[in-house]
Amino acid sequence: MTDLAALRQEIKAVFGRAIETAEPQDLEQYIHYESKDLLKALYDRVEKMQQLGVFKSVPPPFDPLKPVWRYDISSLYVEEQGYLVELTLEDLFASAVQRGFRDEVDTLIFIDEAQKFLSTDDQDHIISVIFREIRKFGGGLALATQNCETFPTDIIINSGTKIVLGIDEAYQDILARKLGMERIRFIQPRKNALVQIKTKTTSAGSRFIDTLFSLPGEDNK
């Protein structure tokens, strides 16, 4: 049986179980699926997702002996990138939870252009969940972006370390308030960076240390 055929069978099975176990009032949502056009569109969407390779059982050809695995998903559309990022994070987090609590960090996850994958109104989104809970399972998550204005508040609050490079002067006050980093105005593009580290959290609140670091480069010689 091909991957697509297996996917079709799984969809039918899941849909059938949902119908069998649903309450009468819950079945109203399925009335919309009387339309052949809608069902065809749904099928085409599932088929397209299957063709992407994201849902195939073949794992990426990473070398288990190498400590760094890099996913280059730049060739995918933004929506497709979102599928892959969320599924990968779900798997990584599930594996971390299964291993149990850890005293030392053994898994670090880095996501570039993170603003594309965040949800501002869903605190149960996998990225928000990982940010809140991954530390106790020996993991860490780093998000890189050129636009953190859309970052959810809980992501910012739970960040142990923030690093800010050069930003436009027009956004300095906005980001200073949003990130809680008053020294942002002292950042000079390509010359220094501002690093904020959360050192202690008590009943009175969190304590932070803000430090400006000079960056190596021609401008600083």
Q: What is the tens place of the pLDDT at every residue in 178-187?
A: 888 888 989 8
Q: How far apart are CA 190 and CA 98, in angstroms?
A: 42
Instruction: Report DSSP state, residue 170.
Output: G
Regarding pTM above 0.85, the answer is: no
Which pLDDT value is given to residue 122?
82
Domain borders along the chain are 40-157, 160-220
Interval 104-124: pLDDT, tens: 999 999 999 999 998 878 888
Q: How far apart are CA 176 and CA 95, in angstroms?
A: 36
* 221 pLDDT tier (thresholds 50, 70, 90): very low
For residues 135-160, average pLDDT: 87
Under 8 Å between Cβ of 194 and 164: yes
Instruction: Report DSSP state, residue 125.
Output: S
